[in-house]
Structure 1
Amino acid sequence: MSQVQLYVYDLSGGLAKALSMQMTGKQIDGIWHTSVVVFGKEIFYGQHGQPLQIADFGETAIDEDTFNEYLDDIREHYTADKYHLLDFNCNSFTNDVIGFLTGQHIPSWIRDLPADFLSTPFGASMRPMIDNMFRPVAQRAASSAANQPTVNPGSSTVAAPVHIATNPPSLDSLIKSHKASVVFFTSSSCSPCRMIEPAFEDLAREKAGPDVVFVKVSMDIPAASEVAGRWGVRVTPTFIMCLGGERIDELKGADRGELKTRVDLLLYQAFPPHPHMSLKLPALKALSTQAIVYEQVPDLTKLLSKIHATTISLGLAEYPSIAAMATAARVQGVDSINDQIAEQFFKASDAFIAVAQPQDLFPLLDLWRVALLNQTFATKCALNDCAMANVIAKISEHVEKLGGATPKLLH
């Protein structure tokens, strides 16, 4: 018998605890990485420095030879090309291993960290960037693996949030921690399984979220036979749908259309639409949801002339930053407005607004309108507090005071 310990690392080095509240609006004490220590060895899916915490999980009744066989069995499932920071990471691995050794699972505050992060507006906005960051890493890993003689190379699809479960505790913890679960029982010798797996991964990519999990159980791993036995699975492919931790549906076979229908039904039951969605509102539904965008670019020379005259009369030194934004906005390229130009424009706008009269703000507002046509700049404004709010607030106050005498251009 051997003692089993979970080593917990903070990849942020304390930065998450210090900055998470102001960045995400939610306190996140660390970016947790974990490994398992057993039989005098540290087993990990990526390793990082010194542990911040050590959690004891008692002793295992599994002998070292059996454990090594288990690691060999799951090795092909935990490869570099499958690693994903949010969906399939070191904590997925340690949860699986802890389940095999002790029948327990890692703490929820570690396991649920990605869901906590993605539940914030900042986390949701960062998801595409994180996916794109790991895609080239996976492609390089898959390319490297292709040049070496290997058996059953892993899939190169990393963005699909498909979890791996190799033992009952691992699967139970995933099902109990998510409102809706889809479990795919498969094996490498099953041709229908290979046919339906891409459809399963596509659904996972599209539907998975903080409360929805897609899990794959490979019958190639001896320990997985216990999982299949508990769920009464005798053939592959078999899909089991769970709602609130309880089994509600089962599908056998490789029918893509039926799989999608069953998954959609599960999600409909888990997240029923609001009663207002059933109301018949043809006039309201006929309204366009596309933003009204005024793409006409004014005479920037005249616009800058007015702003320049105002800055001189007010003794402001911010005109060059405003002029730089006008030059960049005129190009309308994706990367024409870089971070430096944007930050200087924010500061210049704040300084201008603080002292200018409301009637002098229209040229600046028009320049903001043109700048927001740039997708990169618009995204930056949407994700951060910026001077645009100050411009709108001051002009709105001015319009309210003018009442019926408000110039048409200010409406």
Structure 2
Amino acid sequence: MSGEPVKLYVYDLSQGMAKQMSLSLTGKQIDGIWHTSIVVYGQEFYFGQGILVDKPGTTHHGQPLDIIDMGTTFLPLEVFTEYIDSQRSVYTAEKYHLLDFNCNTFSNDVCQFLTGSSIPSHITELPAEFLRTPFGQSLLPMIENMFGKSTLRSTTMPSTSNGSTSATTPNAQSLSMLQDVSSSAFSGAPSSVAQQSIQQANNLSSLQQAIKSYTAVAVFFTSATCPPCRVIKPEFEQMIKDKNQGTASLHVLGIIVDTSIAFDAGAKYQIRSTPTFMFFHKGEKISEFSGANYSELKSSVELLLFTAYPPHPHRTLHLRQVCKPSNQPILYNNFGKLDMILEKLHTYLKEDGIHLDEHQLATLNFAKDVLLKKQEEILDMEQWQRLLDTLIDKLPMAHQFPLLDIARSLILTKEAGNYYTTNCHKIAHLMDTVQNDNETDGSGTPKATWLMILRLACNLFTHQVLVTTYFTSHLASSHRSSLTQLLVSTLLAQDAQVRQAAASLAFNCSTVVMAERLRKEENSDSFTGSAGMAEQEDDDWQVEIMSAVMDALTKETDQEITHRLLACISKFLFLSPQGSSLGDLLSALDIRGLLDEKKTNSIITSTPVLELARDIKLMVDKSVDQ
């Protein structure tokens, strides 16, 4: 019996950059960041947004760098098809991890199934080898922020000869490469889910396997001699594709069963006429009907989806304001009159007897030109940070605000985002310095300094990877406590401008949590059951912020600040997962009574704020009733 050749297609996700940069960054020569796929039976199978199938060499990865002969399989195509179908519930988009569970994991499993052989070890062992380098460890927090914690963390920590760990700082180019590699590894053809949403089942075994493997399945029993079947078939296919459009994973699988071919399937399910439709949730039949009735088909598919993926209780409420405002963070991107700011800084430097040398003065002027877009060159962030550290150390707290004003504007730039992603402790130090000074200095931190530190913290949220990895997560490398303490200590400030900036920072924290919940709701097979990014879904942290916000709200008399505090509460509360204590906390703190009091005292008067207060009451009531 002749066999079928099995080929391993090998691609470099870094497009040659790993080969060029690896030796200088890691101390090891790494020739590529490998992505692999299996080519067999004239098709290319690979893992990214689920299991994907294309014609060989036509995937978004381009042409392979290498093609390795993995041997021959003698398994029939039908057996392999059943195997791939059985693995779709294992290799889902939600389970993808760049280091632990990736395309090479899939290729290795498929190759072992087909031939009994494993793919080359230099491919499967690359993640562990990379993480044994200081550079790999420095990138690990960002990788874990994107894909979740890695099982390789505890076994790959590098150490120097004396036993201490060492660290290497990634540059902007390597950070960009990481993001490109992650995107390329995880992506697939945009329409891949819709393309895979319709399958043929030619026997009972393949039909039952698919029903067991998918959460929601709609089965269309047809026959070659059935005219109504030919009429309703394109409607069925389009409906299934529409229900999966724009989703990262398959929400409902449509299966077409020709009973004139799959006799055993027709007999098992007692199909007496065609077309007949059956609908399965987690392997159990929930409904069926016969006839080419489009309206009944539509309502049955919608009932199946509602059963499989019931909406969050908040989605059943008529909320007027919670989702209406943008979920974008509040940024302070107006840098004001730079000439006046610099003049003030130079005045303070002179008063405090601080002299800038030629290089320091050039760095300061270059920063100004960057903000005014007079420079096409990129600011050397290392030089800027050295200047900032020097002046923060020498300038009295009351004289720091012009310098911090420039810093909070510069942090909006892409270069600053890349730099602070690997030097986040520099920002945390600024937050801690102003708070420590406030505790030791009887006169307290000046208003202007508080404002600039808070605005700088708000502007961090323009860089998603930076803020979600190091300032809102509970990863070991996070500085969330510094940001949280800054927020809590300023929400009750006497000055309204400081309180408004603090309320903006609280709002920005809530946007990170809400964005993750919305992303999880859109991309997961089941919102309530998916893992998501646990780093951002931390009930204790949310309770800490919510308690401080409620305390501030109780005393607040300014309507604009009140609006921002309420927006923060609404975003933390909206789509909160089952088991969250936020609703109970707000109920215990009598937020209903507080909002009614604000309305009576004319602190809440504008329609948007009144509607937001109403939405919060509805969500609290729904959360408490669960």
TM bracket, shorter-chain basis: 0.5 to 0.7
2:304 to 255, 262, 265: 262
Q: Report matched runs for 1:26-37 at 5 Å.
A: 30-37=34-41
**SS of residue in 1 equivalent to 2:309:** helix
* SS, match of residue 54 in structure 1: strand
Which one of 282, 286, 302 corresponds to residue 249 of structure 1? 286
Give the whole-Å Cα distance in 1 for the aligned partners of 2:419 and 2:256. Answer: 41
> Counterparts in 2 of 1:366-377, with a 5 A limit?
366-367=405-406, 369-370=408-409, 377=414
Secondary structure, aligned partner of 1:105: helix
Secondary structure at the residue paired with 1:405?
Answer: coil
Q: Which amino acid aligns with 1:191?
A: V
CA drift of 1:99 comes to 3.6
| Residue equivalent to 1:104 | 83
Give the whole-Å Cα distance in 2 for the aligned partners of 1:59 and 1:387: 53
1:235 CA displacement: 4.2
Change (3 A) 1:194 1:52: same
CA positional deviation for 1:313:
1.5
Per the alignment, residue 463 of structure 2 pairs with none
Q: 2:70 corresponds to which letter in structure 1?
A: I
* Greater shift in the superposed pair: 114-123 or 352-361: 114-123
Note if 1:181 corresponds to 2:212: no
1:298 paired with 2:336, answer: yes
Q: 2:427: which partner in 1? A: 391
Give the structure 2 partner of residue 204 of structure 1.
Answer: 244
Pairs within 5 Å for 1:116-127: 116-117=95-96, 121-122=145-146
Amino acid at match of 1:264: F
2:11 partner amino acid:
L
- Alpha-carbon RMSD across the aligned residues, in angstroms, is 5.6
Change (3 A) 1:395 1:59: closer
Shift of 1:185: 3.6
Do the aligned partners of 1:7 and 1:53 also contact (CA within 8 Å) in 2? yes
On the 8 A contact 1:325/1:345 being kept in 2, the answer is no
Rounded to whole Å, the distance in 1 between the matches of 2:421 and 2:9 is 32
The aligned counterpart of 1:91 is none
For residues 200 and 302 of structure 1, the distance between their equivalents in structure 2, rounded to whole angstroms, comes to 62
Q: Residues 228-247 of structure 1 correspond to what in structure 2 (within 5 A)?
A: 235-236=274-275, 238=277, 240-243=279-282, 246-247=283-284
- 1: distance between equivalents of 2:81 and 2:235? 35
1:8 is displaced (CA, Å) by: 2.6
Q: In structure 1, what is the Cα distance between the partners aligned to 2:90 and 2:408?
A: 44
- What one-letter code is carried by the residue in structure 2 that aligns with 1:3? G
**AA at the equivalent of 1:122:** M
TM-score by length of 2: 0.38
Match of 2:392 in 1: 357
Larger Rg belongs to: 2
Check whether the contact 2:96–2:186 (CA below 8 A) recurs between aligned residues.
no
1:10 matched to 2:10: yes
Whether the 8 Å CA contact 1:182–1:214 is kept in 2: the answer is yes
CA distance in 2, matches of 1:129, 1:308: 48
Question: Equivalents in 1 of 2:420, 2:266: separation in Å?
Answer: 48
Judged with a 3 Å threshold, the aligned counterparts in structure 2 of structure 1 residues 99 and 172 are, in CA distance, closer, same or farther, namely farther
Q: How many residues align?
A: 313
Q: By how many angstroms is 1:173 displaced?
A: 6.3
Whichever residue aligns with residue 262 of structure 1, its letter is: L
In structure 2, do the counterparts of structure 1 residues 172 and 318 end up closer, same or farther at CA, with 3 Å as the change threshold? farther
Deviation per residue, 1:106-148 (Å, 9 max, x gap): 895997275443797536998999999956xxxxxxxxxxxxx
Aligned partner of 1:400 in structure 2 is: 436
One-letter identity of the residue aligned with 2:252 = F
Using the alignment, how far apart are the partners of 1:196 and 1:51 within structure 2?
39
Unaligned runs of 5+ residues in structure 1 are 23-28, 61-97, 136-156, 331-336
Find the aligned partners of 1:103 and 1:219 in 2 and give their Cα distance. Answer: 15
Gaps of 5+ in 2: 20-24, 26-32, 45-54, 58-63, 99-143, 149-178, 223-227, 452-626
2: CA distance, partners of 1:223 / 1:325: 70
The TM-score with structure 1 as length reference comes to 0.53
Q: Per the alignment, do residues 129 and 10 of structure 1 end up closer, same or farther by CA in structure 2, a change over 3 Å counting?
A: closer
- Alignment-mate amino acid for residue 204 of structure 1: N
Alpha-carbon distance in structure 2 between the residues aligned to 1:257 and 1:107 = 28
How far apart in 1 are the matches of 2:365 and 2:280? 61
Aligned to 2:607: none
C-alpha change, 1:348 and 1:266, in structure 2 (3 Å) is: farther
Question: Is the CA contact 2:219–2:254 (under 8 Å) kept in the aligned structure 1?
Answer: yes
Deviation at 1:267, TM superposition (A): 1.5
Q: Any residues of structure 2 matched to 1:24-173 within 5 Å, and which? A: 30-37=34-41, 42-44=42-44, 45-47=55-57, 48=64, 50-52=66-68, 54=70, 57-60=73-76, 98-99=77-78, 103-105=82-84, 112=91, 114-117=93-96, 121-122=145-146, 134=189, 160=194, 162-167=196-201
- Mapping 1:276-315, distance limit 5 Å: 290=327, 291-294=329-332, 296-305=334-343, 313=356, 315=359
Q: Deviations over 1:188-246 (max 9, x none)?
A: 9643443354443332135553xx54334345798777767666676457363332xx2
Shift of 1:325: 3.6
Which of the residues 226, 234, 249 maps onto 1:194?
A: 234
User: Judging changes above 3 Å, is the alpha-carbon distance between structure 1 residues 202 and 401 closer, same or farther for their aligned structure 2 residues?
Assistant: farther
Shift of 1:326: 0.9
The percent identity for this pair of structures is 12
Deviation at 1:33, TM superposition (A): 1.7
| Separation (CA, whole Å) in 1 of partners of 2:262 and 2:402 | 67
- Separation (CA, whole Å) in 2 of partners of 1:54 and 1:351: 54
Structure 1 residues 225 and 325, CA gap change in structure 2 (3 angstroms): farther
For residues 170 and 265 of structure 1, do their structure 2 counterparts lie closer, same or farther at Cα, with a shift above 3 Å needed? same
Instruction: For 1:254 and 1:303, locate their aligned partners in 2 and report how far apart those are by CA, in whole Å.
Output: 68
Q: Partners in 1 of 2:268 and 2:419 — Cα distance? A: 47
* 2:367 alignment partner in structure 1: 322
1:249 and 1:382 mapped to 2: Cα distance? 52
